[in-house]
Amino acid sequence: MDARRSALIALTALAPISWGSTYAVTTEFLPPDRPLFTAVLRALPAGLLLLGLARVLPRGIWWGKATVLGALNIGAFFPLLFLSAYRLPGGMAAVVGSIGPLFVAGLSVLLLGDRPTLRTLLTGIAAALGVSLVVLKAAGALDPVGVLAALASTASMSTGTVLTKRWGRPDGIGPLALTAWQLTAGGLLIAPVALVVEGAPPALDGRAIGGYLYLALANTAVAYWLWFRGIGRLTATQVTFLGPLSPLTAAVIGWAALGQALTPVQLAGMTLAFGATVFGQLRVRATATGSAPVLRDLTRAPRPDREPGPDRAPLPDLASRPRRTSHGN
């Protein structure tokens, strides 16, 4: 792997690493039980800020494409993710989210014409198993609504990732503008739903304002720009294999900052998930001996006319969130 590609992967990885801090920020700084309001404040201010920096609007068919991508990557993904985090015990939402690489592999066959290898599938299974060892805890019966929400959020982000790869971006448009379009569209889609379902915004103190500023700027505006930029230059499979870094980061922050212990099983799971993440970035080339290739690349290399954006890797960072009380932190 050359130095430029390694640097690109490292920068893209900062997105899910940043998303891993969402758990601690949400539980320690934000008002409780306001997932839709939080989703709006994460997406819409960040989108408008980037839109002001990019100073360009979609044209023609890209009004529709930007709306679809914004709905999949932000508008549907954020609320579904928060809903699953509130309703599922332990880290089940993160476990469901960690199967994102397998979703992307399947969708890439349908939408990109890519053919996943056994290596891709085994690596995806290893990543999901590693995350499950880190965050999954025994905790009663599973809420079917929460499970469906977790599956839907993973499917939404995975579909958005592959469609972003398929559609690329318009000529002369960079990842900053594409990020702005999607965040703005997603935020505008969530806002009326939040008003109807949750009512007027809650009163915010200084801690909550600081938490929302962090989420909107570093955790969303910068992180999603890096994520969409990475999707435009890496394969969809490579990008989605960075997703497990989010719950791993959440676990490390919980241990270092919130006093949460890590068991030997969790440490083994972290090692397995991190190893799968690194292995998912390797590009295996065919042999030059004239015989059939021993092993093909994870997916086809990105075509030069296809460039773009998102996810989350599903922000599984909120998945291991404990049950909230009715009072704020």
Interior/surface letters 284-315, b for 16+ CB within 10 angstroms, e for the rest: eeeeeeeeeeeebbbbeebeeebbbbbbbbbb
The candidate with the shortest Cα–Cα distance to 48, out of 302, 297, 221, 294, is 221
The candidate with the shortest Cα–Cα distance to 170, out of 43, 64, 74, is 64
Rounded to whole angstroms, the Cα distance separating 309 from 167 reads 9
Helix (H, G, I), strand (E, B) or coil at 149: helix
Q: Which residues contact 116 (CB under 8 A, 6 or more apart)?
A: 105, 106, 108, 109, 237, 298, 299
Beta strands in 56-161 (DSSP E): none
Q: Which of 78-92, 116-130, 213-227 has the highest mean pLDDT?
A: 213-227
Q: Given a cut of 60, is residue 138 above it in pLDDT?
A: no
Contact present, 283 and 204 (Cβ < 8 Å): no
In tens, the pLDDT along 173-202 reads: 999 999 999 999 999 999 999 999 999 999
Q: Given a cut of 90, is residue 296 above it in pLDDT?
A: no
The candidate with the shortest Cα–Cα distance to 38, out of 223, 198, 245, is 198
Model-level pTM?
Answer: 0.75
pLDDT score of 15: 92
Rounded to whole angstroms, the Cα distance separating 193 from 189 reads 7
Contact present, 307 and 179 (Cβ < 8 Å): no
What's the pLDDT band for 283 if we cut at 50, 70, 90?
low
Average pLDDT, the chain: 79
Q: 236 vs 58, 118, 261, CA distance in Å? A: 23, 16, 34
In tens, the pLDDT along 107-117 reads: 888 888 877 77
